[in-house]
Amino acid sequence: MVTYAVYIANIYFLCPLTLQEAILEEQESRKDDNIHLTRFLRVLANFLVLCCLAGSGYLIYFVVRRSQKFALDGLENHSWWERNEVALRRSERQGLKETERSVDELF
């Protein structure tokens, strides 16, 4: 004969299992609905990565072509800014490094 305590214990253990099964079934049904969204997002991410790679390749091509143009034309045909832009960039970086060092020294 099943006592009241055993009945309560069974219900105590069966309720969470029933809820877990219901939650898992709901999650599986949502997966079926969102499979197209997941595929679309993956394709979109791959397309964006491809665009980044293509843009990087074009920038490399542009910089090499520009430096070749400078080498063929000679430095006299270009402005002061174009002749010294690499040196200016280096001095900017050096200034930033010195600023970082001075900030680090404060702390």
Residue range 68-73: average pLDDT? 82
On whether the CB atoms of residues 70 and 63 are closer than 8 A, the answer is no
Tokens of 11: 């219900």
- How far apart CA 4 and CA 16 sit, in angstroms, is 19
Spans of all domains in the chain: 1-57
Q: Examine the pLDDT at 64 and tell me if it is beyond 80.
A: yes
Residue 81: other Cβ atoms inside 10 A: 8
- How far apart CA 37 and CA 28 sit, in angstroms, is 15
Of the candidates 32, 105, 19, the residue with the CA atom closest to the CA atom of residue 97: 105
Q: What global pTM score does this model have?
A: 0.48
Residue range 55-59: average pLDDT? 95
- Residue 74's pLDDT is 76
Please write the tens of the pLDDT for every residue from 13-49: 667 767 778 788 887 777 666 788 888 999 999 999 9
